[in-house]
Amino acid sequence: MNAAQHRDRGPFIPYPHPLAARLLSLMLAVALVGLILAYPRALADTGRELRQILLPLLMWGLAAGFVHGVGFVPRFWAWRLLFHPFLGWLLLSFGAAWVILNR
């Protein structure tokens, strides 16, 4: 068994790939990038502890949104789990709500 065959073994993680789901991911990611560029002060640190973890979570959501939005489907189960669109949609929605409420 070569390394590629061994690497592909692991738990099966379904990954939605219809065009509507990919467009949703891409539109959410682009919208959040626009909100971050328009209201960067919403992410500025004013002493709240939540904001220190907010930006990495937003970047993770943006990465998941763009990965799924452009149509890339990870083969390795761990990457598929980390960049799953459901997780990306959750993080993107949270980030958009945060920026809108704190602008």
Domain assignment of residue 19, yes or no: no
Domain assignment of residue 53, yes or no: yes
Domain assignment of residue 79, yes or no: yes
Domain assignment of residue 69, yes or no: yes
What pLDDT was estimated at residue 55? 83
What pLDDT was estimated at residue 4? 52
Domain assignment of residue 71, yes or no: yes
Query: In the chain, how many domains are there?
Result: 1
Please report where in the chains the tokens 């993107």 appear, as a residue: 92
Q: Retrieve residue 84's tokens.
A: 């799953």
Residue 34: count of CB within 10 angstroms of its CB: 12
Domain assignment of residue 101, yes or no: yes
User: 65, 28 in Cβ contact below 8 A?
Assistant: yes
What pLDDT was estimated at residue 1? 46
Q: What is the pLDDT along the chain (103 residues), one digit of tens a residue?
A: 454 554 556 788 888 889 999 999 999 999 999 988 888 777 776 555 556 778 888 899 999 999 999 999 988 889 999 999 999 999 999 988 888 887 7
The answer, as to whether pTM is greater than 0.85, is: no
What residues make up the domain containing 75?
32-37+48-103
Q: Retrieve residue 5's tokens.
A: 């065959």
